[in-house]
Amino acid sequence: MAESSKKSLKKRVFDIIQIGNKDDLISRSFDWFIVIIIILNILTVFLDTFEELAMFKPLFRAMEAVTVSFFCVEYFLRIWTAGYLYPDKKGIGAQLKFLHSFDGIVDLLTILPFFFLDGFIVFRMLRVVRILHLFRVNAHYDSFHVITSVLIEKRNQIISSVFIIIVLMLASSLGIYSAEHEAQPEAFKNAFSGIWWSVSTLLTVGYGDIYPITVIGKIMAIIIAFLGVGVVAIPTGIISAGFVEQYTQKQHSDARFSDVNDVGEIYIDEKSSFKGMTVGEVTGNYNIRILVILRGEMTIVPNEGLKLRKNDIIIVKTDKLIKTG
């Protein structure tokens, strides 16, 4: 009986601390509470950097201690309930998996800097990781989900564009180093100085701390600056297109067809009589209504003049589904 009660308590704790349970008021309240604690913690870290507020440092330290204590409690509760997060793992296996997960690492790095604040500089820099805690809170909500979905779906294109940027960066850094090293040995000491210049130029930032003075260097700078505009536009266009696709899919997935009696899907292969026909022709000839067209990763709203292609999947409404082979 005691064991059953313990499991019930652990499951309830897991439901409360699990982010994104919109149907549980206590769970949602806990999410907002953690967000407030995170914001207070980050605000304290920011205010602590102002010399004018040095008199309040004991207060800031106390606020940081309180907020970090909440992080510690949450961290150990997540370790304790890890078995429900990873049901395929048993006991210590689930806990170890959580400790090695992104959430577990972020939680740990959120806590460590407080205890090692006066130690190595790397621990003081880890205070910035606390901001990443907000990503974990937002991870299960639509806004963050859309972003992560786009990055995952378009990862191959993004990786390709990043590869192009790296190649251009290396080529331009070596080129500007060769052109400017003799004229500016202090500014362009080595290839790394060229990398810093190429990054600021390719990404159209142009800090102005390092710049070419030779004719060849200036010509290279002009060319690289123009290339930078296109290079930045490539991943921007990919991600923008991904957002449009995601929101289009979400919009149509939320649609409700209250008058649908019989709905089915038809795959258009090489032998299908629908291939090459317009939506209007299919509607008129076969007395069916096409609700949605699935084309690759796209969800398309049909219109009368849209032609159906091979490998399209059409979602149709009709009193009696038909064969098209």
Task: Say which CATH number the domain at 15 has.
Answer: 1.20.120
Q: In the 8-state DSSP scheme, what is residue 320?
A: S
Domain housing 74: 2-140
Average pLDDT of the residues in 7-23:
75
What CATH number did the domain enclosing 160 receive?
1.10.287.70
DSSP-derived pairing of the beta strands 289-295 and 298-300: antiparallel
One domain, residues 9 and 123? yes
Residue 161 within any structural domain of the chain: yes
Write down the pLDDT at residue 312.
86
Residues 130 and 183 in one domain: no
Alpha carbon distance 246, 239 (integer Å)? 10
Residue 162 confidence (pLDDT) above 80: yes
CATH number at 283 reads 3.30.70.1450
Same domain? 33 vs 135: yes
pTM: 0.51
- pLDDT above 50 (res 254): no
Give domain status of residue 148, yes or no: no
Residue 258 lies in a domain: no
Residue 143: pLDDT band by 50, 70, 90 thresholds?
Answer: low
Token output for 87: 């049901």
- What digits encode the pLDDT tens for the residues 22-55? 667 887 788 788 888 888 887 887 888 788 888 9
CA distance 197 to 211: 7
| Domain final residue, candidates 98, 114, 140 | 140
- Structural domain ending residue among the three candidates 116, 140, 164: 140
Q: Are residues 82 and 171 in the same domain?
A: no
Per the structure, the count of domains in the chain is 3
- The strands making up 298-300's β-sheet, listed across from edge to edge, are 263-267, 313-317, 289-295, 298-300
Q: Which of 200, 220, 253 is the last residue of a domain?
A: 253
